[in-house]
Amino acid sequence: GGLQRLVTRRINIVPAADRELLHFAAVAGKVIDPRLLAEAFPDRAIDSWITTCVNASLLTFDDERLHFTHQKIREGILVTLEPEQRRQLHGQVAQALGQAYPDFMLYAAQLAHHWYESGDGAKAALYAAIAGDQALRIGVYTEARQLYELAIDALSQLPPAIENHEQLIDTTVRLGRIAALMPSDKLPDYLQRALDAATELGDETRLAAVYGSIGTFHYVAGRIPQAFNYFGRALVLGEKLGLERLLLQPYNMMGRALCAVGKFRQASDMLYDGIELARALDENLLLASSLPYYAATFAFLGNYEGSRPHANEALARARAMGHQSQLAATLVTLGHYHTFCGQFEKAIDYLQEVLLMRNDLLRPQVRYEAHGCLGYIHFHFGEHEIAFEHLNICLQLAAQTNELTTYLPIFQSVMAELMLESGEREGALQLAEEALLLAEKTQQPMAQGLVRQTMAKILMKAPDPNWLLCIELLEQTRLLFEQDHILPLAAITAFELGKLYSGKGDRLVAQQYIGHAEQAFATMEMSWHRAKAKLFAA
């Protein structure tokens, strides 16, 4: 086209002997480094060449940095290069970069890119892994993910040697560590390759690490039973080998998975060990990510005061890291447990901060959970239109991904209660039954309890209520929560039982349940619920 003809005319101003420098500069990148050119072309007068190119309007200086006058100029030069010529130039750039800057650590990402494009998979994998580790250490997780993916792709092109298998496994495990914040579409394939390689090598240390990464992948995708399976395998091997580093990821991630299903006592023990290991091994990402879940275990076990220092540390670390994905994940976890432990105002602060962040930088899981929790809160406030808006977004996100099943039965049950309030009793019951089936299928006992609570409320609104069935559902729920020591939800269920007995005219039993609930609400600082209980008792 006309633009390409313009580029060609400008290039032709440069003497033919000097055009190879233009080719080299275009392949090297957007900014032109005279030192790099001097290293690659020691017999050329680089300053004179730069002057010629500036006069031809090919190059320009901006804040003392030399670059092409327009990106289209660079692109126009690149399209004239044959594939083999471009590969050779990438190799020349990588070689010159390594010679010009012996402290290659600062240029590892560039070296990885150029060696990869040159076809040298071994060097590309080496430098990409180094650069990925650097990005991970400073919290640049998107770049770390991209570099680890490049390293794995480069390794996949190499012969099946032992050292290549080992590097493939190690790099995949590193990629798996950031999957909770920066999911990779390529990760399932990479994990399978790493598992095959570790199995073939018979390397139990690396096999344990891969099991932990696969468990994390399933946890992030909401497949909790599969996550437990692989975390269990990782723990068995890690304890057998006596290597603390192999226990780090399973302890932390399994603790979070136990929170998701409502097993907070077991989660607390697992997270305590994981957090202590993370502190000892200076693993800041795992530490910062696990602290809000550890805070949640205190609140769900009835010790809201005990949760505060861990919540404060979690939030301080997340803000200090300066990464939106980390901060959003921390805020939504804090918002979640404040929601279901009855601290609604605090929960709203956390959750609204999440939703004020840029949508394109938030994982669907985070938005889904934030909207679901806000829907729950606004329903309890009696603000049904706002509740519906949030729950509708939450359920739409779940439908779009087919992977957001953690907590989904809970949010479905709240939508069912909204339907009940609008007079759609049959539709509400059908949705609650679907939610219960999903909770059972995905092995989420806490969700099962909350859905049964909703079903009891729906059945109580029948023209001729089956009081015995309603009582049975609520008693099953209360017993479940008390056995698992989920004290805020046990107190809420006791309050629902009090309302049920009041509705059927058994005021003495109603007073006992409501009195118990009110006392528990006071102990756990559940001020909104306590006010409701006092009002109902009056």
Q: Across the 538 residues of the chain, what is the mean pLDDT of every consecutive 10-residue run?
A: 66 76 91 92 90 87 86 86 94 93 86 94 94 85 90 91 93 86 83 94 95 91 89 94 92 94 96 96 92 98 96 96 88 97 96 90 88 98 97 94 84 97 94 95 93 95 90 95 96 95 90 95 95 89
81-87-93 Cα angle (round to 5): 100
Residues in the chain: 538
242, exposed or middle or buried, with CB in 10 Å at 0-12, 13-18, 19+?
exposed
Instruction: Please tell me the predicted confidence (pLDDT) of residue 123.
Output: 94
Instruction: Please tell me the predicted confidence (pLDDT) of residue 4.
Output: 63
Contacts of 147 (CB under 8 A, 6+ apart): 109, 112, 128, 129, 131, 132, 135
Other C-beta atoms lying within 10 Å of the C-beta of residue 384: 15
Q: H or E element: which one contains 218? A: helix 204-220
DSSP 412-433: HHHHHHHHHHTT-HHHHHHHHH
Instruction: Please tell me the predicted confidence (pLDDT) of residue 14.
Output: 72
Instruction: Please tell me the predicted confidence (pLDDT) of residue 465.
Output: 86
329-233-398 Cα angle (round to 5): 35
Other C-beta atoms lying within 10 Å of the C-beta of residue 313: 17
Are the C-beta atoms of 459 and 497 separated by less than 8 Å? no
